[in-house]
Structure 1
Amino acid sequence: MQNNLKSAKPHYAALDGLRGIAAIAVVIFHCYEILTPDLTKNPIAHGYLAVDFFFCLSGFVVAYAYDKRIKTLGVKQFLINRLIRLQPLVVLGTVLGLLGFLFDPFLTASPVREFGWGKIILATVCSLLLLPSPILGRYENVFPLNAPAWSLSMEYFINLFYAFVLIHLSKKMLLLFLVLATAFIITVAYLHGSIVGGWSASSYGDGYARVLFSFLAGLTVYRFNLILKNRINFLLYGLLLSGVFLFPHFENDWFTEIAFVILLFPLIISGGAGTQVSERLRKICIFLGDISYPLYMVHYWMIWILGNYAATNPGQQKLYIFSIGILISSILLAWISLKYFDEPVRKWLKMKMKSNKS
C-alpha cells in the first residue's frame, strides 16, 4: 500500500519482505475467521494487526518518498500519484467482489432478489469511491463487496491529512500529534477491549485511531532518522512480525495489542530499514513486497465463498483443503493482477498524465 521507492535512493528490501509477510498473514487470518471463528482458538489470532503494521510502514515510506519533494511536486500531483498507485486495485477488488457476490455457487438465495439491483449498484459505486456502504448485510462490513477496502479509505484519508497538515509540521508539533494519536488509540483499545475495529459500521470510527497513530509513528521514524543500523538477519524480523500475528488472543487483551502497535511495530520498521538483505533473500523480499498490495485487495471475494461453503457443513478437512486452495490462488491471482492489470494500468495513467502536460 506504498509507493515504489525511487531507484536513485536506497531500497529497503527488508521492509518489502515484511509487508509481504503481513499480507499473507491477512489472508490466512481471514481463512481462519471461517475455520475457527472464536479468536481465542484462532492460531493466527492477531493477524488483523497486520493493518496497523501497513499503516506504520505507509507513514515511513510516504515520508521517505515525498517529504523532500512535495513542495516542488505540489499537493495536486502528490494526490494524483497516490491515486494512480492505489486506485487500480481498488477497482479490481470491487469488480472481483461484485462477481463473487453475484455468482457465488454456495449462496442459498439470489443476491438480486434479496437486495435488489439498486442496493447492489449503490454498494458498487461506493466501493469504487471508497465510501462506506454497509447496505448488503455481510456482518455490517462497510465495504461489503471487498471488506479490506475499509483500510484503503483510511489510507486515502491519511494521505490527504499528510498533504495538507502533516507535511507542514515541525518535529515538535509532530511529537505533539503523535502523543494525541497515542491517547486516541489507547482510549479506543481500552473502551472496546481490542483494536480490531474499523471494518464494520459500528466500529468504523476506530479505524481513524489506528491509522492516525500508526502513520504518525512511521512518519516519526523517518523524520527523526530512527533507523537502527544492524546486521540482524531479515528472517529474524520476519519471525518477530509473524510472532505478533500468531500471539494468542485473550479476552480484553487490549494492552498487549497496544504494546505491539505502539512499541514493537515502529521498532521493527526502524530495524528492518537498517538491516542488509542477502541477494537471494532480496529477490524474495522484493517479490513479496510487489504482490503484497494486490494480495490484500483481491483475495476477499474467495473468503465469502469459503464462508458460504462452510454453511453447507462439508467437514473440517474439506474446509482446510479449500482454505489452502484460497491461499495459493490468492498469491497467484495477486501476481497476475500485478503484472497484467495493476502495472500496465499505472503505466498507462502515468503516460496519459505526461501527454496531458505536454
Structure 2
Amino acid sequence: MALGKLLNSQEPGALGRPKSIWSTLHLDPILLALLLLLVGGGLFVLYSGADRNFAVVKGQMIRLGVAFVVMFVFAQLDPAIFRRWAPWLYLAGLAGLVAVLLVGVGAKGAQRWLALPGLPRFQPSELMKLVVPMMAAWYLSRYYLPPTFSRIVVGLVIVLLPMFLIIQQPDLGTLLLVGMAGIFVVFFAGISWKLITAFFGMVAVSAPLMWFYVMRDYQKQRVLTLLDPQSDPLGAGWNIIQSKTAIGSGGMDGKGWLQGTQSHLEFLPESHTDFIVAVLAEEFGFVGMMLLMAVYFLIILRCLYISVTAQDSFSRLLAGALTMTFFIYIFVNVGMVSGLLPVVGVPLPLISYGGTSGVTLMAAFGVLMSIHTHRRMISA
C-alpha cells in the first residue's frame, strides 16, 4: 500500500527527490514562460501603437508587474481556499455591483467604477469574471455530476444575477465575459444536448425582444455598422473601415516595426487599446498574426491540460471555465477588429494597454497554477 502511494503520487519529491524550485513557488514554468513571451512581445507592439510614447509602455510595465505579483499570490493559495471563500466573494461582488449603480463613478456615458476613500478607482464587474465561475463551480461540485435540471437552473441564476446588474451600467463587453465564464462552468458540469438546443432556441426567439426592448441605441448602431460599415464611413463605420484597411495593408510579412501608417498617421482609433491587433497585423503581417495566435494557442493548450488533470470537480470546472474565458477574450477582440463581430470594447488579452483586465487575467492564471501545483497524494 505504501509503495502504491509512492508510485501513484503526483507530489514532487514523493520518491525521495527534492522538490524543484517551481514546485516550491507553486508556479508552472511552461505557462509562465508563455505568458512572459506574450507580454514581452506585446510591449513592443504597444510602443508602436502608442506612437512611440514610452510613458505609455512604462505605465503598462508597472501594471503588468502588479498583475504578475497578483498571479504569484493566487498561485500560493490552495484551491480549497477558493472553494471555501467562493460564496462570500460572490456576495461581496454583488454588493459592489449594487454600489456602482447607487454611488458609482461615471465616465463616457457609463457608470462602472467605484471610488472608495483611500483606494484607487476600480470596477467590481472585472472581479466577477473570476468570482462568478468560482461560485458556479462551488455550487455544482457539491453534488453528483452531471447535475439535475433544478441544479442547472440554480447555476444559471448564479450567472444571470450579476449579468443583470452589469447590463445596467452598461458594459456589454464585461457582460459577455462574465456570462460566458459562468455558462462554461454549467456546460462542463454536463448537460444534455436537448437542453443546449433548447437554450439556443430561447436565445433565437428572444433576440427580437432584446433588439426592441433591451438594447440601447448605441448598441443597435454597433450591430448595424457591423452589417454595413459603409453606411456611415466617417462616423460609426470609421473604426471598422480603418481597422480592416490596416490589417489588409500588412500583407504577408508587414510593413515593419514602427512603419505602420494607419496608426502613426492617426487614422486608426484606439490603436494602443482595443484595436492594437490591427497595428500588429499592419506592421508584422500575416506571419506576425500567426505567431501571436500560436502563442495564444499554446497557452490555451497548457491551461486545458491543467484543467483535465485537476483532481476534483471544483478545480476541473473552474480551470476549464477560466481557460475558455481567456479564449473568448481573444476570439471577441480579433473578431471585432477584423469586422466579424460588433465592437464591444474587449481588449486583446495582455497586449492592449490597460490595468484592470490584465490583473484579472493574471489572477485567473494564478488560480490555474494553484490547481496544478497543489497536488494531493493519490491512494493506490
- Fold similarity call, TM over 0.5: no
Of the two, which has the highest radius of gyration? 2
What is the TM-score when the length of structure 1 is the normalising length?
Answer: 0.37
What is the TM-score when the length of structure 2 is the normalising length?
Answer: 0.35
